[in-house]
Amino acid sequence: MQDHNSRFPTISKILILRQLLWGAAFYGTYVLLTKFFLNDLNYSEADTIMMMGAFGAVGPVFSAVGGFVADKYIGAFRAVYIGYTAYLAGFVLLGVGASDLNVPLSIFAIALIGYARGLSATCPTVLLGNSYSETNRDAFQQGLTVNYSINNLGSFSAKYLFPFLIAYLAYQGVFFIAGLLMACILVIFFKYRKELESVGNDLDKTSLPFMTWALFFVGSIATLGLVFWIFSNLDMGKYILYSLGFGAIGYFIYEITKATRAYQFKMVAVLITVCILIVFYFFYGQMFTSMNMYAINLMGDKLLGFIPIYPESNMAFNPLWCFVLGGPMIQVYAWLDRKGYSPTIPTKIAGAFVLSAIAFTLLGLSSENMGPDGKISADWILLVHFFQSGAELIVGALGAGFIFEMVPRYLAAFSIGLRAVAISLSGILAAVIATKIALPKDIVFTPEVVEAVYTGYFYMLAQIAAFMSVLTFALSRVIQKLILRGEALEAEEKEAALSH
């Protein structure tokens, strides 16, 4: 039997190993899709940007729906198990589609991967949170940070290596490797299924009626069909994503009206934080859209002058820095705590905006420093990702845990999905904005072209991030007052209950 009061309970170790394998499979595939659609499937640059934005947005926006289904109907562990089975099928079908450049099958495969992400994304955090006791929440926050860092280790390894493997295995072979990694996770899930069920919700511990399974199956088919339609009709599909995202936020507002007074204050704090996160993840979304396309078009093939790298592997810099910075960031927080200062999560997000402003300023500077070969040094992109990854690490490792602690347990998976909704809404918005700098495939990149297209765009983003850092710092005080008021009311409610 696992020790829920230890620093890393047994189930938390299993879930962290799962995160390593999932990060390698999903993000390793993700990094290949831009050039796969651009070159092999012959998409335009604008359509490729929109496809990558939609692919990044679909899973997160449906994760609120997936969290709701897990909370109310099938259970958290079941949602993860079924979702990861769908991942396996999606990667295999993507490999089959790549083998004969079958566009509809390739789109269906990434639709299946998007469905899998939506169904399963929020529940590992719920399982991880339940593997710790109620009196061991500091260890839970540390576990989240380690989990996030391990995810970035798997992501970095695959993002750097998968493009090199294309030369030996072609796209289909690498996609099949991603499927193999998912198969390993499913084997681990089967071996430890009883232990994982024990940290799921109440539904995981009981059998489900036939009607529930039938409704889930019909709903899954409908969802998969909708996702496939979105990918096949991106101009209209983006409005579906917007509607789903704002619909999830609307449902959360409805739940606020039904919650106890204590939770109402804390949930309003979450709502304000989610709105801030939508803006933050707009900048995060640039890594997969404008920044990625910029690097593919212009980044040199040598890092630090001697390390070979493919331009599409530029996104490997993000998980590399997240992994490297994870430990030091924990130490910085511990040092601040010893000094008697513990910044709130909204205050940390304000700091993340400062780092984003620096990142995009450097990106603008890089566009003004083309080499004689018409390329931007990969070192610029590495440095940009240092700051942007620091910002992401501040937000990504703590946002889910903050929401988990602020909402009633019956809304845990859905509410964690609100963070993913923020990623989705900002991701599709990032893609729509990034298409404004999409270029024809046959364009010649001169310093004048680069300055006209990229320089002003990146400096504009830097200015917006700087403004948001000031606004978020101001809002952090409002959020903290709401949380303190909620906690005070919660204490009063407990005291009143004890007196009766």
Q: Write a three-state SS string for the chain.
A: CCCCCCCCCHHHHHHHHHHHHHHHHHHHHHHHHHHHHHHHCCCCHHHHHHHHHHHHHHHHHHHHHHHHHHHHHHCHHHHHHHHHHHHHHHHHHHHHHHHCCCHHHHHHHHHHHHHHHHHHCCHHHHHHHHCCCCCCHHHHHHHHHHHHHHHHHHHHHHHHHHHHHHHHHHHHHHHHHHHHHHHHHHHHHHHCHHHHHHCCCHHHHCCCCHHHHHHHHHHHHHHHHHHHHHHHCHHHHHHHHHHHHHHHHHHHHHHHHHCCHHHHHHHHHHHHHHHHHHHHHHHHHCCCCHHHHHHHHHECCEECCCEECCHHHHHHHHHHHHHHHHHHHHHHHHHHHHCCCCCCHHHHHHHHHHHHHHHHHHHHHHHCCCCCCCCECHHHHHHHHHHHHHHHHHHHHHHHHHHHHHCCHHHHHHHHHHHHHHHHHHHHHHHHHHHHHCCCCCCCCCHHHHHHHHHHHHHHHHHHHHHHHHHHHHHHHHHHHHHHHHHHHHHHHHHHHHHC
Give pLDDT tens digits along the chain (500 positions).
456 556 677 788 888 899 999 999 999 998 899 889 988 888 888 888 888 888 887 877 777 788 888 888 998 889 999 999 999 999 999 999 999 899 999 999 999 999 999 898 878 887 887 777 766 656 776 777 777 778 878 888 898 899 889 888 888 999 999 999 999 999 999 998 888 888 877 888 888 899 999 999 999 999 999 889 988 888 888 788 788 778 888 888 888 888 787 788 888 888 888 888 888 888 888 887 888 888 888 888 888 878 888 888 888 888 888 778 877 877 777 777 777 776 777 788 888 899 999 999 999 998 888 888 888 899 999 999 899 888 887 776 555 667 777 777 777 767 766 777 777 777 777 888 888 777 777 777 788 888 888 888 899 999 999 999 999 888 888 888 888 887 787 777 777 766 66
Is 4 inside any structural domain? no
Structurally, how many domains does the chain consist of? 1
Is 299 inside any structural domain? yes
Is 124 inside any structural domain? yes
The pair of structure tokens assigned to 418 is 């609100």
Q: What is residue 1's predicted lDDT score, i.e. its pLDDT?
A: 44
Q: Whole-angstrom Cα distance, residue 34 to residue 292?
A: 9
Is 5 inside any structural domain? no
**Which residue is associated with the tokens 């069909």?**
225
Q: What is residue 413's predicted lDDT score, i.e. its pLDDT?
A: 67
Residue 331: give the domain boundaries.
Answer: 10-499
Q: What is residue 180's predicted lDDT score, i.e. its pLDDT?
A: 95
Is 1 inside any structural domain? no
Is 2 inside any structural domain? no
Is 3 inside any structural domain? no
Is 390 inside any structural domain? yes
pTM score of the predicted model: 0.77
The domain that holds 63 is classified in CATH as: 1.20.1250.20
